[in-house]
């Protein structure tokens, strides 16, 4: 039998718990105008989205379209802003269309927006480190067209000098190792830049746990949606900085028994928007797996 290490913490982060609770309460509230729309995936997990779809909620999510553009599909009803937040123009458009608004923005994302607005008022140039087209990044960049997106060290090297003071902040779900490198280069190039590391606590703790746990592990499964950036960060960290062979999976159905043969230890972690039940099924399967007994290979 394999030795299985469930890495903690796992399960929903507080921002995801809040967002899901907000949608459930909206569903249960008969006074809210229908239909109920979610502007994007409420959290980046298709199992959560599919569950709400079955309950009659309409998720508006189309590759290449911004939150502002997605609102064109809505004529009446209630609109829920996702945990990733959005720009002020979206809130204004919802108001102008006479729609009912429910805001499920994560408090950590809102804090980042408030910081950016505060430094804009002080006439700072703003650098935002994030993944292009991610909804959280879209919301931050939408605050002001002058905000510059930084995705890599190469982007920092391309920056020209500025007569204004510089404020730097980031998407809350990035890899802590990648972010530290970008911060260091910015500090070297702009020694007086004000840097505010806004990696959320849930993301940081999960990443540190993977780095600590996986060096003596053969395999690691990271359970999460392909669209989940915090899941992708866990995968990248484990692959790059630990000794564990690492596989991203959505559920137990993605595990191939052949992947487990010849290995003695396996760890399991999950993104912050992955339902606990999904991860628990992965752990249960791995705990009962015996490569000498093919009956345990069946899911």
Q: What is the pLDDT of residues 36-57, one digit of tens each?
A: 999 999 999 999 999 999 999 9
pLDDT at 99: 98
Distance between CA atoms of residues 202 and 140, nearest Å = 20
Task: Check 87, 136, 138, 198 and give the catalytic one.
Answer: 136
What pLDDT band is residue 162 in, cutting at 50, 70 and 90?
Answer: confident
pLDDT at 1 over 90: no
What pLDDT band is residue 191 in, cutting at 50, 70 and 90?
Answer: very high
Which distant-in-sequence residues (6+ apart) come within 8 Å of 179 by Cβ?
129, 170, 197, 199
Distance between CA atoms of residues 102 and 97, nearest Å = 14
The predicted model gives 242-259 an average pLDDT of 97
Residue bearing tokens 């408090």: 107
The predicted model gives 265-283 an average pLDDT of 97
pTM: 0.94
Boundaries of every domain in the chain: 3-12+201-297, 14-106, 108-195
pLDDT at 146 over 90: yes
What average pLDDT does the chain have? 97
pLDDT at 9 over 90: yes
Active site residue 291: no
Domain 3-12+201-297 carries which CATH code? Answer: 3.40.1010.20
234's tokens: 């866990």
Domain 108-195 carries which CATH code? Answer: 3.40.1010.20
108-195 has the same fold as 14-106: no
Indicate the DSSP class of residue 161. P
- At the second CATH level, the architecture of 14-106 is 3-Layer(aba) Sandwich (3.40)
Query: Which one is predicted more confidently, 188 or 11?
Result: 188
pLDDT at 161: 86
CB-CB contact of 222 with 238 (8 Å): yes
The predicted model gives 216-233 an average pLDDT of 96
pLDDT at 96: 98
Nearest in space to 271 (alpha carbons), one of 287, 290, 251? 251
The predicted model gives 113-123 an average pLDDT of 98
pLDDT at 127: 98
pLDDT at 123: 97
Distance between CA atoms of residues 239 and 158, nearest Å = 28
User: pLDDT exceeding 90 applies to what percent of the chain?
Assistant: 97
223's tokens: 């359970």
Question: Bridge-partner residues for 5, per DSSP?
Answer: 267
């Amino acid at each position: 039998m394999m030795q299985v290490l469930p890495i903690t913490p796992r399960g929903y982060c507080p921002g995801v718990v809040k967002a899901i609770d907000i949608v459930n309460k909206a569903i249960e509230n008969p006074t809210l105008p229908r239909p109920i729309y979610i502007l994007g995936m409420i959290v980046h997990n298709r199992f959560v989205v599919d569950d709400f779809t079955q309950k009659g909620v309409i998720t508006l999510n189309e590759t290449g379209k911004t939150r502002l553009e997605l609102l064109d599909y809505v004529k009446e009803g209630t609109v829920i802003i996702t945990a990733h937040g959005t720009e002020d123009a979206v809130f204004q458009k919802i108001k102008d269309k006479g729609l009912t608004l429910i805001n499920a923005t994560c408090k950590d994302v809102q804090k980042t927006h408030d910081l950016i607005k505060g430094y804009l008022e002080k006439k700072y140039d703003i650098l935002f480190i994030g993944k292009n087209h991610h909804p959280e990044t879209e919301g931050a960049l939408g605050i002001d067209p002058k905000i510059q997106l930084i995705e890599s060290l190469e982007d920092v090297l391309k920056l020209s000098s500025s007569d204004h003071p510089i404020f730097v902040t980031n998407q809350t779900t990035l890899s802590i190792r990648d972010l530290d490198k970008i911060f260091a280069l910015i500090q070297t190039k702009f020694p007086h830049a004000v840097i505010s590391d806004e990696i959320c606590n849930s993301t940081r703790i999960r990443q540190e746990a993977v780095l600590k746990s996986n060096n003596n592990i053969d395999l690691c499964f990271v359970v999460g949606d392909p669209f989940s950036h915090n899941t992708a960060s866990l995968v990248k960290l484990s692959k790059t900085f630990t000794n564990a062979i690492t596989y991203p999976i959505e559920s137990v159905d993605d595990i191939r028994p052949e992947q487990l043969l010849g290995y003695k230890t396996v760890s399991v972690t999950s993104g912050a928007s992955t339902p606990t039940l999904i991860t628990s099924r992965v752990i249960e399967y791995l705990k009962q797996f015996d490569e000498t007994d093919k009956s345990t290979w069946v899911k």
